[in-house]
Amino acid sequence: MIDKINTLLEEVKAFEAKTMEEAEVFRVRMLSKKGAIPALFQEFKSVPPADRKAVGQQLNQLKQAATEKVNTIKTRLETEASSRQPGKKRPDLTMPANFSPIGSRHPLSVIRNRINNIFEKIGFVISEGPEIEDDWHNFSALNFPEDHPARDMQDTFFVEKDPDIALRTHTSSVQVRVMETQQPPIRTISPGRVFRNEAISARAHCIFHQVEGLYIDQDVSFADMKQCLLYFAREMFGEKTQIRLRPSFFPFTEPSAEMDVSCSLCDSKGCSICKYSGWIEIMGCGMVDPNVLENCGIDSKQYTGYAFGMGIERIAMIIYHIKDLRMFFENDLRFLRQFESAM
């Protein structure tokens, strides 16, 4: 069999063609299903196991040589044929290339990636979960009372056939799933799409995106949370950014706070974006309520933690000076093309 391979290899090396027809005839004779080289591959099955490695290598070299020879000849003949066409100029290889347009990246994707990258630098990992949730993960485990307004139809899209199943209203449901399956220390962020039954306007939408964070370990304090969020604010909005925490209420954190950042557009002097206050609210935060820890199987006497959550649209509107939230969902190419070079 080695002799047959060498004979065909010499024939391949010596072959030349002056027309495309001759090259095609050679290809069919050598490489088609009934050609000489596939026939050798069939014969290869009967080669003794001790000789298969050496024979197989030479057989593959033969096939590669024949394929390259046919492609080389056809490329040369096509080039010669095009150069002989009357009135057709040869391409100028010194001309600059005509690059294809750069694709656009959605501004929400840009901001989500920036937020993820900031928190990943300080040890947070990304967790994801389902967009259709049950009552336990979306409400009960997070310390929502039975009569809490968020359970009402005005705020939640319930699945009609099962009143205990709904589209998630926040990505805190992902945090519940993480706490149920992992033991502290836990340091995670949960970006994702959420749904609330709200009227669509320039400042609100029934679909929006959140990034929520959770850190649980021994001896975690409110001061730890403040330092973490200050780091985030300065990475996102600039190193001169200041933050302000105002008392608030959330069922799943105690104490709770709203966090504002100093307005970078007016240098905190007052403008229409910050409503002339010098501050812009960007997120809610607080220490994880002990009831939430216990609901998820974590000893609240041994562990403490903090949680925070922000709207990606909110951050994007501040960064890009966008005044109408609906623009993120309208797929207007004039708007989206502005973010072609954004990563």
Say if 142 falls within a structural domain.
yes
Q: What are phi and psi of 95, to 5 degrees?
A: -75, 145
In angstroms, rounded to a whole number, what is the distance separating the alpha carbons of residues 225 and 284?
12
Greater pLDDT, 246 or 37: 246
Say if 164 falls within a structural domain.
yes
Mind listing the pLDDT tens digit for each residue in 36-70? 888 888 887 787 888 878 878 888 888 888 889 88
Containing structural domain, residue 290 = 107-339
Structure tokens at 275: 């409503």
Residue 57 has a pLDDT of: 85
Do 184 and 274 share a domain, yes or no?
yes
Do 155 and 267 share a domain, yes or no?
yes
In angstroms, rounded to a whole number, what is the distance separating the alpha carbons of residues 274 and 318?
10
Mind listing the pLDDT tens digit for each residue in 201-240? 888 889 999 999 999 999 999 999 999 999 999 999 999 9
Out of 77-91, 110-124, 168-182, 184-198, least confident range: 77-91
In angstroms, rounded to a whole number, what is the distance separating the alpha carbons of residues 284 and 309?
6
Say if 94 falls within a structural domain.
no
In the sheet with 186-195, reading across from the earlier edge strand, the strands are 125-126, 186-195, 207-217, 304-311, 279-288, 253-262, 243-250
* Cα angle value 228/229/233 (rounded, 5°): 125
Greater pLDDT, 265 or 74: 74
Residue 53 has a pLDDT of: 82
Residue 227 has a pLDDT of: 96
Does residue 341 have a pLDDT over 70?
no
| Residues constituting the chain | 343
Mind listing the pLDDT tens digit for each residue in 114-166? 999 999 999 999 999 999 999 899 999 998 888 777 676 558 888 877 778 98
In angstroms, rounded to a whole number, what is the distance separating the alpha carbons of residues 108 and 110?
5
Say if 96 falls within a structural domain.
no
Mind listing the pLDDT tens digit for each residue in 292-315? 999 999 999 999 999 999 999 999
Do 33 and 139 share a domain, yes or no?
no
Over residues 101-115, mean pLDDT: 87
Report the domain count for the chain. Answer: 2
Residue 148 has a pLDDT of: 76
Mind listing the pLDDT tens digit for each residue in 3-17? 888 888 888 888 888
Closest CA to 216 of 224, 207, 206: 224
Structure tokens at 264: 């970078």
Say if 88 falls within a structural domain.
no
Residue 26 has a pLDDT of: 85
Do 42 and 124 share a domain, yes or no?
no
Do 145 and 69 share a domain, yes or no?
no
Say if 123 falls within a structural domain.
yes
Does residue 184 have a pLDDT over 90?
yes
The answer to whether 196 and 155 have CB atoms below 8 angstroms apart is: yes
Q: What are phi and psi of 240, to 5 degrees?
A: -90, 0
Out of 118-122, 256-260, 321-325, least confident range: 321-325
Do 77 and 117 share a domain, yes or no?
no
Say if 98 falls within a structural domain.
no
Q: Hey, is 249 helix, strand or coil?
A: strand
The answer to whether 137 and 164 have CB atoms below 8 angstroms apart is: no
Residue 17 has a pLDDT of: 86
Do 64 and 179 share a domain, yes or no?
no
Q: How many Å from the N-terminal Cα to the C-terminal Cα in the chain? A: 57
Q: pTM score > 0.75 for this model? A: no
Do 44 and 116 share a domain, yes or no?
no
Do 216 and 295 share a domain, yes or no?
yes
pLDDT band (50, 70, 90) for residue 242:
very high
CATH of the domain at 231: 3.30.930.10
Bridge partner residues of 286 (DSSP): 256, 307
Does residue 72 have a pLDDT over 70?
yes
Say if 127 falls within a structural domain.
yes
Out of 78-82, 143-147, 170-174, 254-258, least confident range: 78-82
Average pLDDT, the chain: 87
Do 164 and 75 share a domain, yes or no?
no
Do 18 and 117 share a domain, yes or no?
no
In angstroms, rounded to a whole number, what is the distance separating the alpha carbons of residues 22 and 76?
13
DSSP 35: S
Do 58 and 193 share a domain, yes or no?
no
Residue 343 has a pLDDT of: 54
Q: Tell me which of 83, 98, 118 is where a domain ends.
A: 83
Residue 266 has a pLDDT of: 79
